[in-house]
Amino acid sequence: MTVRAALFDVFGTVVDWRTGIAGHVDEWMDTRGVTGVDSFAFADEWRSRYDPSMREVREGRRPFARLDVLHRENLVEVLLSHRITASDDDVDALNSSWHALPAWPDSVAGITRMKSAMIVAPLSNGNVSLLLDMAKAAGIPWDAVLGAEVAHAYKPTPDAYLRTADILGLAPEECLMVAAHNSDLKAAQQCGFGTAFVRRPTEHGPSQTVDLEAGGQWDHVADSMEDLATALGC
């Protein structure tokens, strides 16, 4: 079937979360006189709590909670691990860093080209306000803002993919999942989606060891969003 929608993982695929969060951490620490914190290590520690917190929701041990809530809970734990005391307002300010992450240099141009031929939208674990703010800040031209909060399910559970396709009125086979993570593409493929792997070999920094290459029989493998747009005829 013809691809009618390209649906994108966001964190790591469309935006450079690690560089963005580290930059916000540096600024936040500096304005509060906190020293001796490696901002990239802080960002990595914060991100490492991402999947375990969603697993609590996916496995039914807590009701659905939007990612902003999970991020804030995880941030409080990271601050405690560094023995940093912060007011609620200061925690909120740092938590909002996820709303203003930089796009990879090829993301906006590539997604804009794909938008000319198909629907483009996030299929992200991010909540709506987070993804809206991020798109405004980075200039990402989404047609719609979808994801876990809309589908009420976190990836890689099937409902996250299937409910998103249903919301768009599309069959799974009409949707292309675009991601830099093989696990995301595997889950989408099992739901009937087309798949496109975009390499992001520095998502986790210069010593990254995961998702350096395509790890499955994906429909497309590209080095950038612009390369993917070309492969899709856009």
* Structural domains of the chain, with CATH: 5-16+101-231 (3.40.50.1000), 17-99 (1.10.150.240)
Confidence of residue 1 (pLDDT cuts 50, 70, 90): low
The pLDDT tens digits of the residues spanning 27-71 come to 999 999 999 999 999 999 999 999 999 999 999 999 999 999 999
Burial letters 133-157, b for 16+ CB under 10 A, else e: bbbeebebebeebbbbbbbebbbbb
pTM, to two decimals: 0.96
122: β partners: 8
Confidence of residue 181 (pLDDT cuts 50, 70, 90): very high
120: β partners: 6
- What are the phi and psi torsion angles at 171 (to 5°)? -75, 150
Angle at the Cα of 50 from the Cα atoms of 114 and 65, rounded to 5 degrees: 90
CB atoms within 10 A of CB 167: 13
The pLDDT tens digits of the residues spanning 123-178 come to 999 999 999 999 999 999 999 998 899 999 999 999 999 999 999 999 999 999 99
Burial grade of 129 (CB within 10 A; 0-12, 13-18, 19 or more): middle
